[in-house]
Chain A
Amino acid sequence: MDAATQLPEISPRPLIAAQGVGVRRGARWLIENVDLQVHRGEIVTIIGPNGSGKSTTVRAMLGLIAHDAGRIDRAPGLRVGYVPQKLAIDWTMPLTVRRFMTLTAQHPAAAIDAALDEVGLGAFSDSDVQVLSGGEFQRLLLARAIIAEPDLLVLDEPVQGVDATGEIALYELIAELRSRHDCGILLISHDLHIVMAQTDTVICLNGHVCCSGTPQIVAESPEYRTLFGARAAEALAIYHHHHDHAHLPDGRVVHADDADDHSACTHPEHIHDHG
């Protein structure tokens, strides 16, 4: 990996592509005419208000619900890692962190340890999943999704139940995973601020695609400002703001000039080779 100081390469052929996709419930179209592509090495973020069809779009693309219009193409043999929006594990099921990692496929112990270490949960491998905090559980979901080395990582509101600092760390972790595993990432977020800085393409959704493009282009577009109002300007400011420090998964502060810097640089053009 010597892709240092430049954007991860984006391959021309999309991993998954939606073209004019629509989903209908009775007479009402939940989403209509949605175009969306995710390439390898790219982070695509869908933003939009509640009820704008973000989850519907993603679920249609994953084939979890049928679409009533348009077409969805997946690269042949596409491996998907999924972090669903809601996942609560009842106390009635005894489940350790380690066992949770092999939920959908078997993996060698070394791979499990490596994936847990990657998200900072190495010390928790024998804990019950129910004792994890919100942020730890979200990182466990991430580790579980990446362990099979998926081509496409789909994250539906991955920062739920995570406080503000944890949110930043989590988005940075996601960007890091993208460059380390060279997968495409499709992300849903209602949170404009932090997500913009870690994203290559933003799709602004409200039943249809209002606007899309680089965060810069979207943030400056009038449709985006209409949709999100005053918060929009704020998000733009955040996008231009440079962090001088970041947080490791366990909350420790890391400054940009630290030798063991993991994630201090939040901007894509500053992504280092961490290997």
Chain B
Amino acid sequence: MIMDEFLIRALLAGVGVALIAGPLGCFIIWRRMAYFGDTMAHSALLGVALAVLFDVSITGAVFVVAALGALCLIALQRRAPLSSDALLGILSHSTLALGIVIVAMMTWLRIDLMAYLFGDILAVSWTDIAVIYAGGCIVLGILTWIWRPLLAGTISAELASAEGLKPERARIVFMLLMAAVIAIAMKVVGILLITSLLIIPAAAARRFSAGPETMAVLAAAAGSAAVVAGLGGSLVWNTPSGPSIVVAAALIFLMSLVPGRMRRGNAAGGGMQ
């Protein structure tokens, strides 16, 4: 009975995170922000360390640190003489290292670093699940609200603002949404693997999508399938749950590459005459 309940909690938490991560992951792919997302996720460990140090909510602290990290990155990209590639590399690893160092220095506390780095989905509580679903509703609600300016700005920021949209504002809101997803998803797959849950299901959905909206929905579905398959696999083979979910997602992505009849792709060429 107890076995059943923790499994149900894990499934609910994992599927909840996948539903949020899929649509956001599409934008990460379209905007070529995979490394950016990784950097934000790595800074989350610094958030964990600070939260423990000042005895505040871990989810809240991770959100704040990841959001601040993203805003710093945007500011630095505008003025720094370095390429954003190099900047991301510097920030990504220095925040991760700083987080580990601070955690290690707090010798009076015992923090399970592995649980934060790779996730501990089997340990989620009902409170965690409430946070995931309430936070997820807010994140997806805001994403729907900024969808048009964000999508138009992804294709051309100049075009969007010339025609009266506010793509820059949408971009900053999107960063905050990413920070929120990282804070919410950390417990499920861990800091090091969050980006994969954002990107891999979206990539798997690409081939079967006719439009951006379809791709967002399919990405959420592919992510949910990966959670179910990954959790199942981790129980059967007694493997760590977070990495198992990522492996399942990667397998789904590989399957999406298998050649076969495409659902569409007829270019309607030469239809003029």
Q: Name A's B-contacting residues (CB within 8 A).
A: 59, 62-64, 79-82, 84, 87, 89-90, 92-96, 99, 103-105, 120, 123-124, 126-128, 131, 148, 154, 250
Q: Name B's A-contacting residues (CB within 8 A).
A: 29-30, 148, 151-152, 154-156, 158-165, 206, 209-212, 214-215, 265, 267-269, 271-273
Contact indicator B212/A120 (Cβ below 8 Å) = no
Q: Which of B158, B160, B206 contacts A94 (CB 8 A)?
A: B206
Provide the bound-state CA to CA distance between A77 and B36, in Å. 38
Provide the bound-state CA to CA distance between A63 and B214, in Å. 34
Contact indicator B162/A94 (Cβ below 8 Å) = no
With A80-B164, A104-B165, A127-B268 known to touch, is A92 a contact of B30 (CB < 8 Å)? yes
Q: Which of A94, A123, A154 contacts B212 (CB 8 A)?
A: A94
With A92-B30, A104-B148, A250-B273 known to touch, is A84 a contact of B212 (CB < 8 Å)? no
Which chain B residues lie closer than 8 Å to A87 at the CB level? 155-156, 159
CB distance from A252 to the nearest CB of B (A): 8
Which chain B residues lie closer than 8 Å to A123 at the CB level? 268, 271-272
Provide the bound-state CA to CA distance between A124 and B158, in Å. 25
With A82-B163, A103-B152 known to touch, is A96 a contact of B271 (CB < 8 Å)? no
Which chain B residues lie closer than 8 Å to A63 at the CB level? 161-162
Q: Which residue of B lies closest to A141 (CB)?
A: B159
Contact indicator A64/B158 (Cβ below 8 Å) = yes
Looking at A79, A95, A126, the one whose CB has the most chain B CB atoms below 10 A away is A95
Looking at A96, A103, A131, A148, the one whose CB has the most chain B CB atoms below 10 A away is A103
Which chain A residues lie closer than 8 Å to B162 at the CB level? 62-64, 80, 82, 84, 154
Provide the bound-state CA to CA distance between A148 and B206, in Å. 30
Which chain B residues lie closer than 8 Å to A124 at the CB level? 268, 271
Contact indicator B272/A90 (Cβ below 8 Å) = no
With A94-B206, A99-B212 known to touch, is A104 a contact of B268 (CB < 8 Å)? no
Contact indicator B155/A89 (Cβ below 8 Å) = yes
Provide the bound-state CA to CA distance between A96 and B265, in Å. 10
Provide the bound-state CA to CA distance between A90 and B268, in Å. 20
Q: Which residue of A lies closest to B213 (CB)?
A: A99
Q: Which of A64, A79, A131 contacts B269 (CB 8 A)?
A: A131
Summarize A's interface: helix, strand, loop or mixed: loop
Using a Cβ cutoff of 8 Å, how many contacts connect chains A and B?
A: 82
CB distance from A160 to the nearest CB of B (A): 14
CB distance from B65 to the nearest CB of A (A): 29
Which chain B residues lie closer than 8 Å to A120 at the CB level? 272
CB distance from A253 to the nearest CB of B (A): 14
Q: Which residue of A lies closest to B272 (CB)?
A: A250
Query: Could you jot down 12 A-B contacts, CB within 8 Å?
Result: A62-B161, A62-B162, A84-B156, A94-B209, A94-B214, A99-B211, A103-B160, A104-B152, A104-B160, A123-B268, A126-B268, A154-B162
Provide the bound-state CA to CA distance between A81 and B154, in Å. 18
CB distance from B153 to the nearest CB of A (A): 10
Which chain B residues lie closer than 8 Å to A81 at the CB level? 163
Provide the bound-state CA to CA distance between A126 and B206, in Å. 17
Which chain A residues lie closer than 8 Å to B158 at the CB level? 59, 62, 64, 82, 84
Q: Which residue of B lies closest to A92 (CB)?
A: B29
Provide the bound-state CA to CA distance between A81 and B268, in Å. 27
Which chain B residues lie closer than 8 Å to A79 at the CB level? 164
With A59-B158, A92-B206, A93-B155 known to touch, is A104 a contact of B163 (CB < 8 Å)? yes
Provide the bound-state CA to CA distance between A154 and B163, in Å. 10
Q: Which residue of B lies closest to A250 (CB)?
A: B272
Contact indicator B210/A94 (Cβ below 8 Å) = yes
Which chain B residues lie closer than 8 Å to A250 at the CB level? 272-273
Which chain A residues lie closer than 8 Å to B163 at the CB level? 80-82, 104-105, 148
Which chain B residues lie closer than 8 Å to A96 at the CB level? 210-211
Provide the bound-state CA to CA distance between A177 and B210, in Å. 30
Looking at B154, B215, B272, the one whose CB has the most chain A CB atoms below 10 A away is B272
Looking at B164, B206, B265, B273, the one whose CB has the most chain A CB atoms below 10 A away is B164
Q: Which 7 A-B pairs have the closest CB atoms?
A: A123-B271, A82-B162, A250-B272, A131-B267, A94-B209, A104-B163, A62-B162
